[in-house]
């Protein structure tokens, strides 16, 4: 994009920002960045529904916007996401349904049927295998012959000297057929299988399961991938071409010039030369896909276990953000200024008071801070202040100055209470003197990282003069405890916790040696950021101590890749928690150069995943190309349903490292959230298999990334003002966990 267009685009983004909070100037926005802003234009969001059945569904077709399915008992149609049996049509097994020339055609065990949507007609009792429309005439295959439908009768149009025909399609003005192993065509009343192409061959030894003409191409679904005839040339589409799974079963034209492909292990969509995978359990009720049919902005997928329905609804990212906010409220995921995942326990959704509530909640709290800085929304501000107070509470609830709790539990609260601790140790829950609360100890470095990150964002985007005092004091107390205790967190027993140690003795042990780069960077971040906000010389002394220990020598390679077992995604989140304030507040040019080199190395390893929070932090700190299209694509591809369903991708044939990236871990290809699960930013989007169907993920990380992208101008405000494309209505529903009904958060030391 030339400079004039870039300036116009940036100006539009600035004009779309409703409000800019004055304190936000603390976070500098790169000037003339190398990344191109992404406009929040209307896109189509997948919305999935599954109708489970006891018997396989063999066929599906859409006529006049109504979906019909074929099974062992005949034909049914879809109404209100339920199957309703029709009367007057075939009452025997139906193997194919097609919409041809404005009518529905059913290939049944007792012959061929047709319907105009109300009246059914039995056309022939010949055994039919497939049917197509050719030059305005219906042609069907029966045994070794082709027939035309002539009024109410069927007329044979071939001499019958052929193998049994299993498929028929009209392509290039000619009727093509297949017999399961070969492709042929109709010529002069005869079926010819030889010399139908001049270049290439049909995949040798494959089994053809379906064929379909689509524009200039004749597609064949085979057990060895997709074979494609263009004119008189054969092409093969395999895993290395992006085909997700090669054992294909059926084909369908999409609603937006796209192509849908069924397989023995899920459905695929080819849109703009990108293959998208839709697997069991999220999108379809069974792996084996038997037929697919598309309506306007909807896809119906018949499987051995029922019908998968994927509707495409117009959305913007702004609307998706509003949708996730409503989800948090309706599913009861907020409690006492914290955000919680839900678990299905004995058929009931329950909040988990987890091992790390304070840390995980930091993303949603930061999202609200960024949102206020962008929009001036007072409710967002109130939420940010409330959550920041809960983070402060996590430190004030413990009897140790500067020592924060992992999580807080109301005694007797009906919820899922985490009973696991760090590194296989038992959970450490401590009651408060009044017996009202319990707080989880053995706090680790990731909570500390979250405290520094959230407090920094709050101070820059939200805090007024009064709030700045207590938020800064919180930062001083937490980091001060670490410095005063020899760079470690000391628990109630006076001993260091399992994972919150930054002292040189620990970093030379087997437990700590591998983490010396990450932990060293965390320690530099704590003292650098604390000094920036407090001006306390204690933190300068602490930094000199770190330099004396020569921690900086390991930070360049803090991202470990040289043994697959060291390649962790959890630690990536901790590293970028630390890069974000450290790079901004470092004043020593030599150290800042080192931090930036470390960031560049870590980003090179991380960028293959296109996880937006990392992309946006990198772009904000450097102004460099942050691959924003892929990052925003990741946000758009998150499913609306936040259940972490089971998913399987290890069988796929397209697991190849994309061009322009290097394989640093044991898994070569990043997967879309639509193909895996919604996850926190410490999750592994390279993971092939997982999920359970019994956990509801919190969208706090998604919202943090979205509003951070808006704050830095990487994502524009929505390009439409239509309310139904930018907001969602409040419904007042209570769907998931019951609302919290325990004691309120007590007043904090600075509240009157």
Look at residue 436 and tell me whether its pLDDT is greater than 70. Answer: yes
**Consecutive H or E run containing 134:** strand 130-134
Percentage of the chain modeled with pLDDT above 90: 90
Q: Shortest CA distance to 172 belongs to which of 186, 157, 161?
A: 186
d(CA 164, CA 141): 9
Is 232 or 18 the better-scoring residue by pLDDT? 232
CB atoms near residue 305 (< 10 Å): 20
- Predicted local confidence at residue 18, as pLDDT: 37
Task: Tell me what the mean pLDDT of segment 167-183 comes to.
Answer: 98
Is 17 or 696 the better-scoring residue by pLDDT? 696
d(CA 290, CA 287): 10
- Predicted local confidence at residue 568, as pLDDT: 82
- Predicted local confidence at residue 667, as pLDDT: 77
Instruction: Give the start-to-end residue ranges of the domains of the chain.
Output: 3-42+316-643+693-725
pLDDT band at 685 (very low <50, low <70, confident <90, very high): confident
- Predicted local confidence at residue 570, as pLDDT: 81
Please say whether the beta carbons of 685 and 347 come within 8 A. no
d(CA 613, CA 598): 18
Look at residue 663 and tell me whether its pLDDT is greater than 90. Answer: no
Task: Tell me what the mean pLDDT of segment 162-184 comes to.
Answer: 97
d(CA 398, CA 140): 78
Task: Tell me what the mean pLDDT of segment 676-688 comes to.
Answer: 93
pLDDT digits (tens, 9 = 90+) for 11-30: 444 444 434 433 434 688 89
* Entry pTM: 0.95
Please say whether the beta carbons of 527 and 502 come within 8 A. no
Greatest pairwise CA separation for the chain in angstroms: 97
Among 130-134, 300-304, 666-670, the least confident range: 666-670
3 state SS of 58: strand
Q: Shortest CA distance to 603 belongs to which of 544, 664, 647?
A: 664
- Eight-class DSSP state of 36: P
Is 342 or 6 the better-scoring residue by pLDDT? 342
Please say whether the beta carbons of 24 and 584 come within 8 A. no
Scan for tokens 């065990």, then name that residue: 109
Look at residue 666 and tell me whether its pLDDT is greater than 80. Answer: no
- Angle of CA points 546, 547, 548, to nearest 5°: 90
Q: Shortest CA distance to 340 belongs to which of 696, 690, 682, 677?
A: 696
pLDDT band at 665 (very low <50, low <70, confident <90, very high): confident
Task: Tell me what the mean pLDDT of segment 193-217 comes to.
Answer: 96
> What does the block give as tokens for 190?
């005869």
Residues ≥6 apart with Cβ < 8 Å to 68: 60, 61, 62, 75, 76, 77, 78, 86, 97, 104
- Predicted local confidence at residue 519, as pLDDT: 96
Among 245-249, 418-422, 559-563, the least confident range: 559-563
d(CA 688, CA 671): 8
d(CA 654, CA 644): 23
Among 160-164, 290-294, 724-728, the least confident range: 160-164
- Predicted local confidence at residue 17, as pLDDT: 43
Is 153 or 583 the better-scoring residue by pLDDT? 583
Burial environment of residue 733 by CB neighbours within 10 A (0 to 12, 13 to 18, 19 or more)? exposed
Task: Tell me what the mean pLDDT of segment 362-386 comes to.
Answer: 98
- Predicted local confidence at residue 422, as pLDDT: 84
Q: How far is CA 14 from the centre of its chain?
A: 28
Mean pLDDT of the chain: 94
Task: Tell me what the mean pLDDT of segment 489-494 comes to.
Answer: 97
Q: Shortest CA distance to 296 belongs to which of 311, 307, 283?
A: 311
- Predicted local confidence at residue 151, as pLDDT: 80
- Predicted local confidence at residue 157, as pLDDT: 95
Backbone angles phi, psi at 374, to 5 degrees: -85, -40
Task: Tell me what the mean pLDDT of segment 641-669 comes to.
Answer: 93
- Predicted local confidence at residue 6, as pLDDT: 52
- Predicted local confidence at residue 566, as pLDDT: 66
| DSSP secondary structure of 488-542 | EEE-TTSSEEEEEE-STTGGGSHHHHTTHHHHHHHHHHHHHHHHHHH--HHHHHH
Task: Tell me what the mean pLDDT of segment 46-70 comes to.
Answer: 98
* Architecture in CATH for domain 3-42+316-643+693-725: Alpha/alpha barrel (1.50)
């Amino acid at each position: 994009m030339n400079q004039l267009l870039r300036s116009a685009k940036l100006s539009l983004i600035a004009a779309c920002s409703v409000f800019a909070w004055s304190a936000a100037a603390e976070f500098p926005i790169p000037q003339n960045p190398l990344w191109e802003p992404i406009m929040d234009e209307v896109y189509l969001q997948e919305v999935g529904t599954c109708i489970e059945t006891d018997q396989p569904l063999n066929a599906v077709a859409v006529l006049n916007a109504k979906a019909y399915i074929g099974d062992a008992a005949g034909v049914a149609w879809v109404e209100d996401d339920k199957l309703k049996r029709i009367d007057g049509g075939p009452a025997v097994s139906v193997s194919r349904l097609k919409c041809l020339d404005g009518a529905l055609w059913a290939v049944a065990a007792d012959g061929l049927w047709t319907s105009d949507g109300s009246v059914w007609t039995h056309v022939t009792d010949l055994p039919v295998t497939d049917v197509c429309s050719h030059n305005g005439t219906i042609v069907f295959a029966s045994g070794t012959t082709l027939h035309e439908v002539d009024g109410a009768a069927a007329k044979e149009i071939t001499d019958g000297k052929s193998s049994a025909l299993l498929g028929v399609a009209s392509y290039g003005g000619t009727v093509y057929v297949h017999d399961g192993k070969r492709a042929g065509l109709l010529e002069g009343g005869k079926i010819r299988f030889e010399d139908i192409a001049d270049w290439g061959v049909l995949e040798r030894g494959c089994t053809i399961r379906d064929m379909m003409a689509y524009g200039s191409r004749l597609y064949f679904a085979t057990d060895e991938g997709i074979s494609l005839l263009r004119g008189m040339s054969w092409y093969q589409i395999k895993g290395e071409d992006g085909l997700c799974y090669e054992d294909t079963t059926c084909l369908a034209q999409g609603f937006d010039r796209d192509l849908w492909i069924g397989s023995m292990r899920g459905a695929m969509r080819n849109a703009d030369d990108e293959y998208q995978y839709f697997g069991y359990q999220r999108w379809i009720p069974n792996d084996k896909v038997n037929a697919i049919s598309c309506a306007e902005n909807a896809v119906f997928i018949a499987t051995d276990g029922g019908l998968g329905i994927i509707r495409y609804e117009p959305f913007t990212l702004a609307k998706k953000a509003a949708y996730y906010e409503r989800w948090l409220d309706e599913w009861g995921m907020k409690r006492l200024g914290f955000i919680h995942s839900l678990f299905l326990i004995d058929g009931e959704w329950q909040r988990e008071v987890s091992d790390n509530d304070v840390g995980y909640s930091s993303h949603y709290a930061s999202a609200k801070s960024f949102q206020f800085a962008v929009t001036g929304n007072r409710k967002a501000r109130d939420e940010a202040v409330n959550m920041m107070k809960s983070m402060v509470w996590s430190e004030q609830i413990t009897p140790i100055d500067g020592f924060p709790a992992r999580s807080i539990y109301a005694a007797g609260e009906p919820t899922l209470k985490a009973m696991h601790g760090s590194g296989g140790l038992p959970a450490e829950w401590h009651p408060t003197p009044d017996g009202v609360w319990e707080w989880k100890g053995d706090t680790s470095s990731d909570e500390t990282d979250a405290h520094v990150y959230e407090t920094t964002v709050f101070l820059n985007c939200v805090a007024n003069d009064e709030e700045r005092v207590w938020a800064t004091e919180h930062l001083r107390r937490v980091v001060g405890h670490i410095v005063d205790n020899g760079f470690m967190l000391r628990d109630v027993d006076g001993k260091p916790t399992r994972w919150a140690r930054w002292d040189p003795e620990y970093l030379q042990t087997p437990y700590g040696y591998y983490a010396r780069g990450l932990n060293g960077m965390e320690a530099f971040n704590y003292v650098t950021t604390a000094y920036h906000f407090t001006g306390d010389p204690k933190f300068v002394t602490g930094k000199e101590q770190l330099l004396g220990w020569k921690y900086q020598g390991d930070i360049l390679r803090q991202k470990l890749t040289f043994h697959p077992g060291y390649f962790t995604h959890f630690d990536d989140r901790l590293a970028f928690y630390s890069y974000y304030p450290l790079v901004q507040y470092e004043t020593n040019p030599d150290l800042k150069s080192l931090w930036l080199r470390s960031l560049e190395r870590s980003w090179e390893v991380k960028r293959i995943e296109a996880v937006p929070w990392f992309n946006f932090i990198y772009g904000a700190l450097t102004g460099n190309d942050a691959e924003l299209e892929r990052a925003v694509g990741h946000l758009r591809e998150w499913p609306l349903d936040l259940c972490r369903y089971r998913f399987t991708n290890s069988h796929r044939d397209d697991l190849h490292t994309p061009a322009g990236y290097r394989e640093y871990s044991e898994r070569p290809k990043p997967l879309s959230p639509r193909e895996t699960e919604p996850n926190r930013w410490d999750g592994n989007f390279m993971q092939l298999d997982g999920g359970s169907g019994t956990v509801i993920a919190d969208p706090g990380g998604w919202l943090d990334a979205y509003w951070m992208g808006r704050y830095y101008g990487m994502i524009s405000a929505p390009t439409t003002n239509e309310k139904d494309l930018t907001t969602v209505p409040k419904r007042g529903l209570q769907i998931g966990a019951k609302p919290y009904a325990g004691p309120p958060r007590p007043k904090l030391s600075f509240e009157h």
